[in-house]
């Protein structure tokens, strides 16, 4: 009789939408109003046993959370345009790589790709390279300048998000320096993964590559603290939820 009931349950699940099962990856949720592409929101990690002492990245995330300011929700500040943060990938910034004769995009590609090939021996233009384990997907991604959008440079703390969170009031040069902060805020990533992230924070989006999630959250928080930008309550909740999984 028990076996018969179990078979009936399986049959109902197979023929209706009444039963769902967890799958890998992220479920879609909007990061902004409907006028912008949706971000994806992953399920919060669930502890599988007794809490373990925080170590390494977990401690670093906890330390950052104690220092950043938290707001309930992201405000909507009118006026954002990409050029409010200066010409895209300008070399005219005050951070690492600034004023070195190479634009920021090529600086990041040269630093983060392997097997890098330049246009000429004296050129800083990267025409080919490899991401052996791309951060957001974990996949091997090849870069070729002929298909440059396959590898994009992501702002870990997105520009339009920063604008809403306070950068709209910054001096112009500070915005330029933020947009070109190679050491803290820029990451060479898979193009489609970057598009799915859009302008979301950890409360709305996590990398499909679970092995990179803790590092992503930590970098986001570090950028927020460095530039005195707040995070949302959802960002904080996501960071706290993922901390038990971080080594």
Nearby residues of 15 by Cβ (< 8 Å), 6 or more positions away: none
Q: Which of 225, 244, 220 shows the shortest CA–CA distance to 66?
A: 225
Please tell me the predicted confidence (pLDDT) of residue 26: 39
Contact criterion met (CB below 8 Å) for 197 and 39 = yes
Tell me how far apart the alpha carbons of residues 119 and 164 are, in angstroms, rounded to a whole number. Answer: 38
Query: Which pLDDT score is estimated for 41?
Result: 54
Mean pLDDT per 10-residue interval, the chain, length 247 residues:
39 39 34 47 43 70 98 98 98 96 98 98 97 98 97 98 98 98 98 98 98 98 98 98 93
Half-sphere exposure of 187 (CA within 13 A, CB side): 25
- Three-state DSSP at 238 gives helix
Q: Give the pLDDT confidence score for residue 55 in this predicted structure.
A: 61
The Cα 165–Cα 220 span in angstroms is 14
Contact 153, 108 (CB under 8 A): yes
State residue 42's pLDDT score: 52
Strands, E, within 97-210: which ranges?
A: 114-118, 126-131, 141-144, 151-155, 186-190
Q: Model pTM?
A: 0.79
CB 135 within 8 Å of CB 207: yes
29, 41 Cβ separation under 8 angstroms: yes
* 164, 76 contact by CB (below 8 A): yes
Phi, psi (5° rounding) for residue 71?
-115, 155
Residue 15's pLDDT is what?
40
CB atoms within 10 A of CB 147: 10
């Amino acid at each position: 009789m028990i076996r018969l009931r179990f078979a009936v349950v399986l049959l109902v699940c197979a023929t209706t939408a009444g039963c769902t099962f967890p799958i890998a990856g992220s479920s879609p949720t909007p990061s902004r109003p409907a006028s912008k592409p949706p971000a994806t929101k992953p399920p919060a990690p669930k502890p599988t046993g007794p809490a373990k002492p925080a170590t390494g990245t977990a401690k670093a995330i906890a330390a950052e959370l104690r220092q950043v300011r938290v707001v309930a929700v992201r405000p909507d500040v009118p006026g954002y345009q990409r050029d409010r943060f200066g010409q895209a990938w300008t070399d005219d910034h005050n951070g690492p790589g600034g004023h070195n004769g190479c634009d920021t995009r090529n600086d990041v590609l040269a630093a983060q790709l392997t097997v890098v090939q330049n246009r000429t021996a004296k050129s800083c233009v990267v025409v080919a390279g490899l991401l052996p384990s791309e951060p957001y997907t974990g996949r091997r991604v090849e870069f070729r300048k002929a298909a440059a959008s396959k590898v994009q440079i992501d702002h870990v703390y997105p520009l339009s998000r920063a604008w809403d969170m306070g950068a709209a009031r910054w001096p112009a040069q500070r915005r330029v320096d933020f947009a070109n902060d190679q050491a803290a805020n820029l990451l060479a990533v898979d193009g489609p993964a970057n598009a799915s992230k859009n302008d979301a924070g950890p409360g709305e989006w996590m990398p499909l590559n679970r092995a990179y999630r803790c590092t992503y959250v930590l970098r986001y928080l570090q950028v927020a603290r460095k530039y005195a930008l707040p995070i949302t309550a959802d960002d904080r909740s996501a960071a706290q939820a993922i901390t038990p999984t971080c080594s």
